[in-house]
Each structure stands twice: as structure tokens, then as C-alpha cells.
Amino acid sequence: MRMPGFARRRDDGQVTIEFLGMMPTIIVTLVVLWQLVLVGYTYTLAGNAADEAVRAGTAAEPGERAAACRAAGLDKLSDAWRAGAEVDCPTGGGYVTSDVGLEVPVLFPGAISFPFTVRGHAGAVEEVK
């Protein structure tokens, strides 16, 4: 003869065990998603920094273009991304271009970075004054 609540009591704790078994998979998935967000955000920052740099470079006096371009490219970056940033602003042929390279952080900005650099590029025609 079966007792009415016997089958239910036999499964007590099953959800807890299944959740604990899935916990590493859930954590790894969240870490990978967060890292992908950081890669995408770094691409956005690099493109925006290149746009800002070229905008400042076209508005500056011809002798001050490189310095203004570099300063504007680094201006909007936070310290974590600015530390490894490379901003190059070549001019010539009536064009100002900007190449920005940023390191992609591992899990959170300011610590270690991946061994590859994200590049942003922008260009504009020189303004004549």
C-alpha cells in the first residue's frame, strides 16, 4: 500500500540539485556575453574617437592639426581605454584622417587586455580658412 505523499517527498530537492548542476553553465554563458558586450563597446568607442579626432583636426590651424586631432581622439575616452589607446592623424592631399586603436579589456576595463587591438578610422576634407 502506497502512502499518499510518498512520491512527492521522494523528489524533494531535485530542483535544487538541477539548479546547482546548471550553475557553471549559466555563469560561463553570462561571462561570455559580457565579454562580447565589451568587444562591441570597444568598437563603438574606437569609431567615435576617430570621428571626434578628425572633426577637431579639420577645424584646427594647419600647423596644429596633428596635436588637436590626437587630443580630441583621447578626450572622450575613459582612463581604462585611454591607457592603451593609439591615435594617429595623418594629413595630406586635402584630407585629414584619423586612425584610433584601442585594446579590448578582459572582463572589466583597466585590468588586462586581449592581445589584439580594435581599430577605428575616419576621414574628412580639410577646411580652408
> pLDDT tens digits, residue range 72-122?
888 888 888 788 888 888 877 778 888 999 888 888 777 777 777 889 898
Residue with cell 563603438: 44
For helices 14-59 and 65-75, angle between their N-to-C axes, nearest 10 degrees:
160
In whole angstroms, what is the distance from residue 53 CA to residue 76 CA?
10
For 6-125, give the CATH class: alpha beta
Across the chain, mean pLDDT equals 82
Q: pLDDT at residue 127 above 90?
A: no
84 CB-near residues (< 8 Å, 6+ apart): 102, 103, 113
Of 42 and 15, more confident: 42
C-alpha–C-alpha distance, residues 101 and 120, integer Å: 6
- Which residues are CB-neighbours of 74 under 8 A, at least 6 positions away? 49, 82, 85, 87
Task: Tell which wins on pLDDT, 63 or 7.
Answer: 63
pLDDT above 90 (res 33): yes
The percent of residues above 90 in pLDDT, for the chain, comes to: 17
Q: What are phi and psi of 119, to 5 degrees?
A: -110, 140
